[in-house]
Amino acid sequence: DNTPASNPVTRQGAALGRVLFFDHALSANGLVACSSCHSQEIGFDDPTRFSIGFQGRITRRSAMALANARFNPDGRYFRDLRAESLEAQVLDPFTDEIEMGLNPGELVGKVAEQPYYEALFNAAFGDPAITQQRIAQALAQFVRSITSLNSRYDAERAKTGSPQDDFPGFSEQENRGKQLFMTPAAKGGAGCIQCHESEAFIMIEPRDNGLPLVPGREDQGLGEITGRPEDIGKFRAASLRNIALSAPYMHDGRFATLDEVIEHYSSGVAEKPNLGSELRDRNGKPAKLNLSREDQLALVAFLQSLTDENLPGDKCFSDPFRR
């Protein structure tokens, strides 16, 4: 949990953050809100390959799902880790020239123009002063409140002593998929857990996962931020919880289905200078898992078990402007 002591989640703070998150008035032309690219119905992700900004232009990367963002262990955000904290991340889209289009310094004024914020800030912080720091704190509180822990996986996990055990309520196919996910490739599994770690299924270290380069869409990822050659092509993925809801997949949204994702790791991993060691075989070549069709379907079935059926309709996280 990356919640800082200086910004604990409170009911009033998260309530303010929820209004800020869904408020279209906080973009340059009133057409876009945070929720425009992070839809509750699909785990606070974007169903389009690239998000559409306030003027109809598209972003260069696929959006990341926000559910369970509080479990990123180092508290860094974006696919290239450029934000040092969630409090920093939530402010970035407001002044992005494609996303929401505000000039630096405009956000506080935009918020202050809306008559409903004075009471909300007073409830959250004890006085009605509107500052950029408080906007960031409230938005971060709302995002951290979006936890997704009510999937079929969670219900079955509560019945067993270890995630490695067969789950009694899972089908044979789902248990096979779970076994493949949890078992290293060297031991006959798919080794997914080596990158998508813990039962939050979070990627801790950004990686190059061997996606073939697309001409005209070269993206250096983390290397663009650090300037280090060894970081070129590395990206962080969001939690795999609710992954079945959040197509398309990868940093550039190139895969429309989970079947395509699994096929990539089975036979499509390309040679790249910074390809992760988890995706190389014992000879240092890109690994080819060559999963059978049955095993590919089993992995998809397991990933579907991570869907929280309550989250898409939970009124605690819904649009307060919708009547």
Q: What is the pLDDT of residue 52?
A: 96
Q: Which residue has the higher pLDDT, 194 or 214?
A: 194
Q: Mark whether 251 and 298 lie in a shared domain.
A: yes
290 in any annotated domain = yes
CA dist list (Å): 227 to 8, 60, 92, 206, 224: 34, 19, 21, 15, 6
285 in any annotated domain = yes
With bands split at pLDDT 50, 70 and 90, how would you rate the model's confidence at 20? very high
Burial 37-53 (b: 16+ CB within 10 A, else e): bbbbebbbbbebbbbbb
CATH at residue 223: 1.10.760.10
Q: Mark whether 217 and 95 lie in a shared domain.
A: no
**End-of-domain residue from the set 147, 164, 188:** 147
Q: Mark whether 15 and 100 lie in a shared domain.
A: yes
What average pLDDT score do residues 230-234 get? Answer: 96
**End-of-domain residue from the set 91, 125, 147:** 147
Q: Mark whether 163 and 287 lie in a shared domain.
A: yes
127 in any annotated domain = yes
Whole-number Å distance between alpha carbons of 203 and 222: 14
Q: What is the pLDDT of residue 8?
A: 97
With bands split at pLDDT 50, 70 and 90, how would you rate the model's confidence at 76? confident
313 in any annotated domain = no
- pLDDT tops 80 at residue 323: no
Among the residue ranges 37-51, 63-77, 108-122, the one predicted with the least confidence is 63-77
Interval 255-265: pLDDT, tens? 999 999 999 99
Interval 241-289: pLDDT, tens? 999 999 999 999 999 999 999 999 999 999 999 998 999 998 999 999 9
Q: Mark whether 73 and 161 lie in a shared domain.
A: no
Q: What is the pLDDT of residue 310?
A: 94
Q: Mark whether 275 and 171 lie in a shared domain.
A: yes
- pLDDT tops 80 at residue 172: yes
What average pLDDT score do residues 170-181 get? Answer: 98
Q: Mark whether 217 and 156 lie in a shared domain.
A: yes
Q: Mark whether 126 and 195 lie in a shared domain.
A: no
Q: Mark whether 116 and 135 lie in a shared domain.
A: yes
3 in any annotated domain = no
Q: Mark whether 20 and 95 lie in a shared domain.
A: yes
Q: What is the pLDDT of residue 72?
A: 86
* pTM given for the model: 0.94
**End-of-domain residue from the set 113, 132, 147:** 147
The answer to whether the CB of 232 falls within 8 A of the CB of 217 is no
172 in any annotated domain = yes
5 in any annotated domain = no
> What is the domain range of residue 279?
152-304
Q: What is the pLDDT of residue 218?
A: 83
Q: What is the pLDDT of residue 41?
A: 94
What average pLDDT score do residues 232-249 get? Answer: 95
Q: What is the pLDDT of residue 298?
A: 98
Q: Total domain count for the chain? A: 2
Q: Mark whether 178 and 288 lie in a shared domain.
A: yes
What average pLDDT score do residues 299-310 get? Answer: 97
DSSP letters, 142-201, are HHHH-----BHHHHHHTTSS-TTSPPTTS-HHHHHHHHHHHS-GGGTS--GGGTEETTTT
Return mean pLDDT, the chain: 95
- Residues of the chain with pLDDT > 70, as a percent, come to 100
H-state helical runs in the chain: 11-22, 34-37, 86-89, 92-95, 106-113, 117-125, 132-145, 152-157, 172-182, 222-226, 258-263, 293-304
Interval 94-147: pLDDT, tens? 999 999 999 989 999 999 999 999 999 999 999 999 999 999 999 999 999 999
